[in-house]
């Protein structure tokens, strides 16, 4: 029996997926949750075979959860699902070596087939998503600018970034000003959002 966990914040979709998976004689849904924190609790406690993760679930995102799963060497196979074909998200998922990456508008049979394939050691990527890899944009930020923005994403203040990287306040501000300009952002937070979506941080 393939034990599945679903992490999806849209209640109707989550319930529909669960009901359809439960129709399969070789699968059971251990849990269906609405955010990344609850998903992690299930992963640690129940040890599911396959985790279906919406890439944009709240609290802890699907990608962050996949990273945590890999870092702690959990045994579950990861199937990411998304509404949008964003090259950055796909690249990050590939870098994390997730087993599957699917668009939500795929037929349910495709998802069921993907669950069985990843259990058997295969990788599955929606055809439309695979095509986006060839449209990947180049990161316009320098390595140092990327590092500074990554620390902003982690929630560090300017002073903490200065201490971490042994830089002056003026230098950190200059890096962030350059980042905001290069990404055509209006704020640090928007720059973080843009860079995250493109898989640069």
Structure confidence by residue, pLDDT tens digits, 131-166: 666 566 778 999 999 999 999 999 999 999 999 999
- 169/77 same-domain check: no
Task: Dump the DSSP string for 52-102.
Answer: EEETT-SSS-HHHHHHHHHHTT---EEEEEESS--HHHHHHHHHTT-SEEE
Asked if 150 and 96 sit in the same domain, the reply is no
**Do residues 34 and 26 lie in contact, with contact meaning Cβ atoms separated by under 8 Å?**
no
Tens-place pLDDT, residues 36-88: 999 999 999 999 999 999 998 999 999 999 999 999 999 999 999 988 777 77
Do 125 and 60 share a domain, yes or no? yes
The sign of the dihedral angle between the CA atoms of 21, 53, 97, 126 is positive
Q: Tokens standing for 180?
A: 């905001």
| Residues 120 and 150 grouped into a single domain | no
With left for phi above 0 and alpha for psi between -120 and 50, is residue 200 left, alpha or beta? alpha
Q: Looking at the structure, do residues 129 and 46 belong to the same domain, yes or no?
A: yes
* Domain assignment of residue 32, given as a range: 2-135
Structure confidence at residue 122 (pLDDT): 93
- The burial class, CB within 10 Å (0-12 / 13-18 / 19+), for 141 is buried
Instruction: Tell me the per-residue pLDDT of 104-126, one tens digit each, with 9 for 90 and over.
Output: 989 999 999 999 999 999 999 98
Q: What is the pTM of this model?
A: 0.69
Question: Do residues 130 and 152 share a domain?
Answer: no
Reported as a single tens digit per residue, the pLDDT across 5-47 is 999 999 999 999 999 999 999 999 999 999 999 999 999 999 9
């Amino acid at each position: 029996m393939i034990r599945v966990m679903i992490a999806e914040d849209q209640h109707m979709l989550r319930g529909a997926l669960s009901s359809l998976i439960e129709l399969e004689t070789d699968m059971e849904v251990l849990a269906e949750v609405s955010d990344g924190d609850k998903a992690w609790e299930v992963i640690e406690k129940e040890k599911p075979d396959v985790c279906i993760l919406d890439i944009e679930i709240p609290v802890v995102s699907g990608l962050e959860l996949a990273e945590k799963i890999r870092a702690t060497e959990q045994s579950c196979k990861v199937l990411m699902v998304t509404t949008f074909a964003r090259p950055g998200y796909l690249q990050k998922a590939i870098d994390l070596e997730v087993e599957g990456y699917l668009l939500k508008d795929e037929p349910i049979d495709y998802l069921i087939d993907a669950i069985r394939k990843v259990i058997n050691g295969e990788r599955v990527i929606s055809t439309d998503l695979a095509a986006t890899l060839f449209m990947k944009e180049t990161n316009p930020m320098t390595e140092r600018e990327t590092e500074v923005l990554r620390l902003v994403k982690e929630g560090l203040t300017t002073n903490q970034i200065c201490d971490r990287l042994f830089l002056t306040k003026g230098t950190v501000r200059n890096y962030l000003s350059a980042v905001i300009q290069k990404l055509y952002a209006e704020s640090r937070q928007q720059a973080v959002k843009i860079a995250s979506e493109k898989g640069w941080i």
